[in-house]
Amino acid sequence: MKRLYFGTDGVRGLYGSATMNEDFAWRLGAAAARWLQANGVAPGGRVLIGRDTRTSGESLAQALADGLVHGGCEPSSLDILPTPAVSQAVRIRGAVLGAVVTASHNPATDNGIKFFGANGIKLTDAEEAAIEALLPARRESAGVFPLKPVDGISGYLYAIEKLLRARLAGWKIVLDTANGATVHTSSHALRDYGAEVLAIGAAPDGLNINAGVGSEHPEKMCEAVRRHGARLGIAHDGDGDRCILCDEHGEVLDGDEILTILALHALQRGTLAKNTLVVTVQSNLGVEAAVTAAGGRVVRTPVGDRYVIERMLAEGAVLGGESSGHVICADVAPTGDGLVAALKVIQVMSATGRPLSELRKVLVKFPQLSLALKVRAKKPLETLANLPKAIQALEQELGERGRVLVRYSGTEAKLRLLVEGPTEAAVRAGLDRLQAAARADLEVI
C-alpha cells in the first residue's frame, strides 16, 4: 500500500502547510490510536511524546496528544528529548507507542512526526500506510488534554554513562548540538565521563535549530577543534539521531568513515555479529572494499535508517547505518543514536591509542560526488524523457568501476544525484550529464 504522507523518516513538511499543522497532527494522533486498537491494544494504552526545540513543536505535540486521547490512548509528555531517548523511554516504561515531533536536520520552518512501536523501533512502511488509511477526514474535537510530564532524560543518561570503561580526563571535545534536542543530554554525558566540553550550537531559541550549526554545517565545529586543540569534534542534528565527527586536525568524518572504523575494530576482535555491516545504497564503495578485505560482509538497503534497522534484524547484525551519520549500534539501542556512535568511536580511540586522523585511514573512498536539486514536483522518474537514458548510458560506461544513484528525497522536495567512479574527472563529467538531463525534465527551483 502506497503511503501519501509518510516519507523515509515520518511525516515532515513546512509548518503551517496542509500536512504539517495542528489539525493534521490531531488527525494523525486519532488515526494512530485507531490503528493500535485495530491491532489488539486495549483502550488506555500509554503513548510517550517527545519533541525537539522548534517553536512549533509544543503546539503540534499537544494537538497530536489530543487526537490520541480522542482515540482512547493516554499520552504523556517527555518534553524536549533526543529521538533515541524517546525510543528508549518507550521500551523501559512499557508504552504502546512513542512519537517524536521533529524535522530532524531540516530548518526551523519545518516540522514532522515519527512513531516508534512498543519495541522502540520505527514503524514499518506497511504500518505507516495502515495509519494513513485510518486518518479521519477532519478534526473531530477541540478538547485539550493536560499532558502529564514524564522524565526521559535520567534513564537515558544512566544507560549512556555505562558505555565507556575509560574516563575521559584530559580529553578536550568540541560538541555541536545544533541548537536542538541534545543540548542537555550529550554535554552532560561527556562531562560526567570527565571530558572538557567546548559547546557550540547550545543556545536554542526555537528558531535557530540547525541554523549554520550541527551535522549539516560542521564548519564551526571543525574551526573550534583547530582553534582549541581539541581531540575531536562531535556534531548532532536537531533531534540527535545523527553523528558527524571531525578529527584533531578539524577534518570531517562522515557516517561511512564512522561505520568502517567501528566495523573493522569489531572484526579484529571477533565481536561483529555475523561479520556483517548493513549500509544503504548511498554508502561509498570503499566501505565494502575495506570490510570485505578484513573478512566481513556488507549488506545494502534502500536509503533510510528504518530500512537499515529492518535488515539488521533480519541478518542478526548489530552494526549498521548511513553515510549521513545515522549509526545504529543494536547492542545498545534499536535506533540511530548520535551520542552512542560518538562514544563507540571514542572507545576505539581509547583501546588503540590512535587519534581519529589515523583511524580514518581504514577507509579509502572511491571518488564520489553528489548533488541535490530542489524541484517543483516529484514526477515519477520512469516517466521522464531524458534522465532515465542518461542514467542508463552512464551506468554502462562505468560498469563495475562505479555506480549511479538517482532518487527523490523522502523528506524534502529534492532530487538527489550521486555518481561514483574511477576518477574525479569521470565522476564530475557524469554528474554534470545527469544534472543537465534532470534540468531538461524537471522544474528546478
pLDDT tens readout for residues 225-244: 999 999 999 999 999 999 99
- DSSP class of 321: E
Going by DSSP bridges, is the β-strand pair 6-7/10-14 parallel, antiparallel, or unpaired?
A: antiparallel
Q: Give me the residue spans of the domains in the chain.
A: 6-152, 170-251, 255-362, 368-441
Residue 400, pLDDT > 90, answer no
- What does the pLDDT read at residue 1? 61
H-only helix segments in 138-284: 153-160, 185-192, 219-228, 255-269
Give the Cα separation of 430 and 408 in Å (integer).
18
Q: What whole-number percentage of the chain has pLDDT above 70?
A: 100
pLDDT tens readout for residues 126-175: 999 999 999 999 999 888 999 999 999 999 999 998 899 889 999 999 99
Taken in order 125, 127, 133, 135, is the CA torsion positive or negative? negative
Tell me the mean pLDDT in the region 33-42. Answer: 95
CATH number 3.30.310.50 given to 368-441: yes
Average pLDDT, the chain: 96
- Fold held by 6-152: Alpha-D-Glucose-1,6-Bisphosphate; Chain A, domain 3 (3.40.120)
CATH number 3.40.120.10 given to 170-251: yes
Give the Cα separation of 339 and 404 in Å (integer).
32
H-only helix segments in 245-304: 255-269, 285-293
Q: Where residue 3 falls among pLDDT bands split at 50, 70, 90? A: confident
Neighbours of 387 (CB within 10 A): 25
- What does the pLDDT read at residue 302? 92
Q: Is 328 in contact with 435 (CB distance < 8 Å)?
A: no
- Going from the C-alpha of 11 to that of each of 6, 19, 372, 399, the distances in angstroms are 4, 8, 20, 37
- What does the pLDDT read at residue 229? 98
Q: Which of 56, 77, 104, 283 is catalytic?
A: 104
Q: Where residue 99 falls among pLDDT bands split at 50, 70, 90? A: very high
Q: Where residue 8 falls among pLDDT bands split at 50, 70, 90? A: confident
In CATH terms, are 170-251 and 368-441 the same topology? no
pTM, two decimal places? 0.89
Domain 255-362 in this protein, CATH class: alpha beta
Tell me the mean pLDDT in the region 384-394. Answer: 97
Give the Cα separation of 68 and 263 in Å (integer).
41
- Any catalytic annotation for residue 17? no
pLDDT tens readout for residues 335-354: 999 999 999 999 999 999 99
- First and final C-alpha spacing in the chain: 31
Residue 358, pLDDT > 80, answer yes
Cβ burial, residue 169 (10 Å; 0-12/13-18/19+): exposed
- Spell out where 207-254 has E strands: 232-235, 244-246, 252-253
- What does the pLDDT read at residue 433? 97
Q: What whole-number percentage of the chain has pLDDT above 90?
A: 93
